[in-house]
C-alpha cells in the first residue's frame, strides 16, 4: 500500500460539469516512462514502461483504461512536455516519441490530453510520494504529480 497521510484528505473529489467521476492518467515520458491512473480515492495503478519495447504496452494500457471507463467516468491524460535544447540523447528522443504517441492516441480515442511544463508537477511531488507505494519509481512519482497538477477541484 502507499504511504498515505492520515492528517489530510487523500484527494479533492473531482467531478466534471456533467457530474461524472474524473479518471486521470499521468505520464512522465522518457526511456523509463512512468504512468499512473488516479481517481478521487487515490492511485488505482502505477507502472514504469521501459521504452522503446514498452510503447505498445503503454498504448494498450491507455486504450484498455478508456474502454473500461463507464458513462459515469470522464477520462483525461496529463503528460509532461519535452522542454529541451541542444543535443538530443536517447532519453530525450524517446521522451519526444512517447509525447507524440500519447497526444495522437489520446486524440484518436477522443480523450482530453493536457501537455504540461515539467515544473507544473513540482508542488504535487510530496503528495504523489504519499499516494504511491514506496517501491514506486521516480518516474511514477513524476507521472502522479502531473496527474495531480491537472486535476481541478469540483465546482
DSSP, residue by residue, 81-123: PP---S---HHHHHHHHHHHHHHHHHHHHT-EEEEE-GGGGGG
* Domain residue extents for the chain: 21-150
The pLDDT assigned to 155 comes to 44
The pLDDT assigned to 1 comes to 35
As averages over each run of 10 residues, the pLDDT of the chain (155 residues) reads: 36 62 91 92 91 91 87 86 83 92 93 93 94 95 95 61
The pLDDT assigned to 14 comes to 62
The pLDDT assigned to 16 comes to 66
Please give the C-alpha separations between residue 34 and each of 30, 45, 58, 116, in angstroms, as whole numbers.
Answer: 8, 11, 10, 15
User: 21-150 architecture in CATH?
Assistant: 2-Layer Sandwich (3.30)
3-state SS class at 148: helix
The pLDDT assigned to 29 comes to 95
3-state SS class at 142: helix
The pLDDT assigned to 47 comes to 95
The pLDDT assigned to 87 comes to 83
69: which 3 cell numbers? Answer: 471507463
Contact 40, 73 (CB under 8 A): no
d(CA 48, CA 34): 4
The pLDDT assigned to 105 comes to 93
Contact 13, 154 (CB under 8 A): yes
The pLDDT assigned to 2 comes to 40
d(CA 24, CA 42): 10
Amino acid at each position: 500500500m502507499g504511504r498515505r497521510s492520515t492528517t489530510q484528505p487523500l484527494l479533492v473529489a473531482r467531478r466534471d460539469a456533467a457530474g461524472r467521476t474524473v479518471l486521470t492518467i499521468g505520464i512522465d515520458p522518457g526511456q523509463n516512462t512512468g504512468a499512473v491512473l488516479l481517481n478521487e480515492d487515490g492511485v488505482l495503478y502505477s507502472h514504469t514502461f521501459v521504452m522503446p519495447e514498452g510503447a505498445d504496452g503503454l498504448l494498450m494500457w491507455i486504450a484498455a483504461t478508456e474502454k473500461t471507463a463507464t458513462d459515469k467516468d470522464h477520462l483525461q491524460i496529463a503528460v509532461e512536455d519535452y522542454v529541451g535544447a541542444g543535443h538530443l540523447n536517447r532519453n530525450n528522443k524517446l521522451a519526444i516519441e512517447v509525447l507524440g504517441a500519447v497526444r495522437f492516441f489520446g486524440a484518436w480515442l477522443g480523450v482530453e490530453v493536457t501537455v504540461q511544463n515539467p515544473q507544473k508537477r513540482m508542488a504535487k511531488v510530496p503528495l504523489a510520494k504519499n499516494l504511491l507505494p514506496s517501491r514506486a519509481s521516480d518516474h511514477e512519482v513524476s507521472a502522479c504529480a502531473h496527474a495531480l497538477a491537472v486535476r481541478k477541484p469540483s465546482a
